[in-house]
């Protein structure tokens, strides 16, 4: 069979995957915190017809120049499917629980735990609560006043506790942050500090939201719901600015604006980083590439038909 027939099939499969990725990007053009995907291609192994030969200069009559290798390509294949973590545009909502990150970093979400109760501090606890990470900052309050995302996962921060003199102080461990029921209003500062006014018109601190910063965000795994999961290749930057293989303890989490993380902007949300103009351009080129590969298959089929007709 003709090699071009299988090369065309491989090209069609690659462009089909690229069109699938572009379609997903366009479908999420208005998804908060969405990071677009990109498909890259690479050629497959080539069949060598003749190898390269060096020049022969031994002074005899049979001296000759060098020869380049002769190879026939056998098609293309998917090189990678990347997640592009560029900053999305900011949309103003004026809602205090809508948070946008200006810069690197991600919100930390805990799948289990109880509002007002610490969700752990060592490796075993981290595995138990199954942390996930997100750039989507549309948060809400549950019936106990804990800050959660739209999937009901707790937003991890450092809760403040009330001491004997009536002031609130940092607890020193991470957990779900709860805003008391008697709070008249609350606000979130750029460093993640959550202030509220109690029934006595006193300003109190409910806690401080924490951020996770990864040395290789492209290594994160999408798990749906605007969330990512850390992998063995995502890396992690600890609170002291050192790169390490993974998030070991909650103390590794950083405050907003520190250790390379961005600041929090309350009353705004980060939109998808999908550019419709670029997406439609890529879709057109992918469509034409797919059509060109179908023409390769059609032409190869016509040649095979001619070979079959030689018997007549």
How confident is the model at residue 149, as a pLDDT?
93
Strand partners, 156: 176
Scan for tokens 């070991």, then name that residue: 248
312 residues of the chain, pLDDT tens digit each: 688 888 999 999 999 999 999 999 999 999 999 999 999 999 988 888 888 888 887 766 677 788 888 889 888 999 999 999 999 999 999 999 999 999 999 999 987 654 444 444 444 455 556 789 999 999 999 888 889 999 988 999 888 877 655 667 766 677 888 898 888 899 999 999 999 998 888 888 999 999 999 999 999 999 999 999 999 899 899 888 888 888 877 788 899 998 889 999 999 999 999 999 999 999 999 999 999 999 999 998 888 888 888 876
pLDDT at 114: 43
**Residue tagged 């490796």 (tokens):** 123
> Which stretches of the chain are DSSP H helices?
3-27, 123-129, 276-309
CA 81, distance to chain mean position in Å, is 11
Please enumerate in sequence order all residues whose Cβ is within 8 A of that of 85, keeping only pairs 6 or more positions apart, or say none. 35, 217, 218
Question: What pLDDT, on a 0 to 100 scale, did the predictor assign at position 61?
Answer: 65
CA distance 44 to 80: 13
Q: How far apart are CA 267 and CA 32, in angstroms?
A: 14
**Mode of pairing for the β-strands spanning 140-141 and 227-229:** unpaired
- Reduced to 3 states, what is the DSSP secondary structure of residue 90? strand
Note the pLDDT of residue 46. Answer: 86
- Write down the pLDDT at residue 12: 94
Q: Which residue has the tokens 């109690």?
A: 198
* Cβ atoms within 10 Å of 215's Cβ, excluding its own: 15
What is the distance between the alpha carbons of residues 74 and 309, in angstroms, rounded to a whole number?
27
pTM score, two decimals? 0.85
Decide if 252 contacts 239 (C-beta within 8 A): yes
Q: Is the dihedral of CA 153, 155, 156, 162 positive or negative?
A: negative
Structure tokens, 25: 């990007």
Q: How far apart are the first and last CA of the chain?
A: 20
Rounded distance between C-alpha atoms, residue 121 and residue 11, angstroms: 50
Q: What are phi and psi of 146, to 5 degrees?
A: -80, 145
Query: What is the β-pairing status of strands 168-170 and 175-176?
Result: unpaired
Which is nearest to 184 in space by CA: 204, 199, 194? 199
- What's residue 56's pLDDT? 80
Q: Taking each helix axis from N to C terminus, what angle separates 276-309 and 3-27, rounded to the nearest 10 degrees?
A: 160
């Amino acid at each position: 069979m003709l090699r071009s027939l299988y090369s065309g099939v491989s090209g069609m499969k690659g462009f089909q995957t690229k069109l699938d990725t572009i379609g997903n990007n366009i479908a999420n053009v208005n998804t908060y915190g969405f990071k677009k995907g990109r498909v890259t291609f690479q050629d497959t192994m080539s069949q060598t017809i003749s190898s390269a030969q060096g020049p022969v200069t031994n002074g005899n009559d049979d001296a000759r120049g060098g020869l380049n290798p002769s190879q026939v390509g056998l098609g293309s294949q998917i090189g990678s499917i990347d997640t592009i973590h560029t900053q999305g545009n900011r949309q103003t909502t004026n809602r205090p629980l809508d948070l946008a990150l200006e810069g690197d970093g991600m919100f930390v979400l805990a799948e289990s735990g109880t509002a007002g109760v610490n969700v752990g501090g060592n490796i075993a606890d981290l595995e138990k609560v199954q942390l996930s990470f997100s750039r989507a900052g549309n948060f809400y309050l549950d019936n106990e006043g804990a800050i959660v995302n739209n999937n009901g996962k707790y937003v991890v921060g450092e809760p403040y506790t009330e001491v004997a003199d009536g002031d609130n102080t940092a607890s020193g461990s991470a957990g779900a942050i709860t805003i008391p029921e008697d709070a008249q209003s609350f606000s979130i500062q750029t460093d993640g500090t959550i202030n509220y006014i109690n029934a006595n018109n006193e300003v109190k601190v409910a806690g401080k939201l924490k951020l996770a910063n990864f040395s290789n965000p492209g290594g994160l795994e999408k798990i749906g719901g605007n969330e990512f999961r850390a992998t063995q290749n995502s890396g992690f930057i600890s609170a002291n600015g050192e790169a390490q293989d993974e998030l070991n303890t909650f103390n590794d989490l950083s405050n907003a604006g520190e250790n390379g993380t961005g600041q929090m902007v309350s009353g705004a949300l980060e939109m998808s980083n999908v550019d419709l103009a670029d997406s439609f351009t890529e879709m057109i080129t992918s469509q034409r590439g797919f059509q060109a590969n179908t023409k390769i298959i059609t032409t190869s089929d016509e040649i095979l038909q001619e070979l079959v007709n030689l018997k007549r």
